[in-house]
Protein backbone atom coordinates (compact mmCIF):
# COMPACT_ATOMS: atom_id res chain seq x y z
CA UNK A 1 0.00 0.00 0.00
CA UNK A 2 1.47 3.32 -1.10
CA UNK A 3 0.93 6.36 1.14
CA UNK A 4 1.20 9.82 -0.41
CA UNK A 5 3.45 11.92 1.84
CA UNK A 6 3.85 15.69 1.55
CA UNK A 7 7.29 17.00 0.64
CA UNK A 8 8.70 20.51 0.72
CA UNK A 9 11.83 22.22 -0.54
CA UNK A 10 14.85 22.68 1.68
CA UNK A 11 14.25 26.44 1.79
CA UNK A 12 10.62 25.95 2.90
CA UNK A 13 11.82 23.50 5.57
CA UNK A 14 14.29 26.14 6.78
CA UNK A 15 11.50 28.70 7.08
CA UNK A 16 9.10 26.35 8.88
CA UNK A 17 11.62 25.09 11.43
CA UNK A 18 13.72 28.25 11.75
CA UNK A 19 17.12 26.75 10.93
CA UNK A 20 19.73 27.24 8.21
CA UNK A 21 20.17 25.22 5.02
CA UNK A 22 23.34 23.74 6.51
CA UNK A 23 21.36 22.46 9.50
CA UNK A 24 18.84 20.77 7.20
CA UNK A 25 21.68 19.13 5.25
CA UNK A 26 23.24 17.99 8.55
CA UNK A 27 19.89 16.48 9.58
CA UNK A 28 19.72 14.67 6.24
CA UNK A 29 23.26 13.32 6.65
CA UNK A 30 22.49 12.26 10.22
CA UNK A 31 19.24 10.52 9.30
CA UNK A 32 17.13 12.90 11.39
CA UNK A 33 14.82 13.78 8.49
CA UNK A 34 13.72 11.73 5.53
CA UNK A 35 14.05 13.05 2.01
CA UNK A 36 13.69 12.12 -1.62
CA UNK A 37 15.50 13.25 -4.73
CA UNK A 38 13.37 14.36 -7.66
CA UNK A 39 14.04 13.28 -11.24
CA UNK A 40 15.79 16.62 -11.71
CA UNK A 41 18.10 16.00 -8.75
CA UNK A 42 16.48 18.37 -6.24
CA UNK A 43 16.10 17.33 -2.62
CA UNK A 44 12.60 17.37 -1.09
CA UNK A 45 12.05 16.89 2.65
CA UNK A 46 9.17 14.78 3.98
CA UNK A 47 7.24 17.22 6.16
CA UNK A 48 6.15 14.59 8.67
CA UNK A 49 9.79 14.00 9.67
CA UNK A 50 10.62 17.62 10.52
CA UNK A 51 9.03 17.65 13.98
CA UNK A 52 9.21 14.03 15.03
CA UNK A 53 11.17 12.96 18.06
CA UNK A 54 13.74 10.21 17.56
CA UNK A 55 12.14 6.81 18.06
CA UNK A 56 8.57 8.07 17.62
CA UNK A 57 6.24 7.38 14.76
CA UNK A 58 5.36 10.46 12.71
CA UNK A 59 2.17 12.19 13.83
CA UNK A 60 2.38 15.44 11.89
CA UNK A 61 -0.60 17.77 12.26
CA UNK A 62 0.85 21.29 11.84
CA UNK A 63 -1.22 23.52 9.60
CA UNK A 64 1.72 25.36 8.00
CA UNK A 65 2.71 22.38 5.88
CA UNK A 66 -0.73 21.59 4.51
Q: What is the pLDDT of residue 33?
A: 94
Query: Could you give the CA distance from residue 19 to residue 51 in angstroms, rounded to a whole number?
Result: 13
Which domains, ranges and CATH numbers included, belong to the chain?
7-65 (1.10.1660)
Q: Are 50 and 13 in contact (CB under 8 A)?
A: yes
Instruction: Report pLDDT digits (tens) over 37-58.
Output: 999 999 999 999 987 655 544 4
Summarize pLDDT for 10-38 with one digit per residue, the tens. Answer: 999 999 999 999 999 999 999 999 999 99
Checking if the pLDDT of 63 tops 80, the result is no
Amino acid sequence: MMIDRKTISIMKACELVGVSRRTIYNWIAGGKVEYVRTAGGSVRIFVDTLWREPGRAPDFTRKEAS
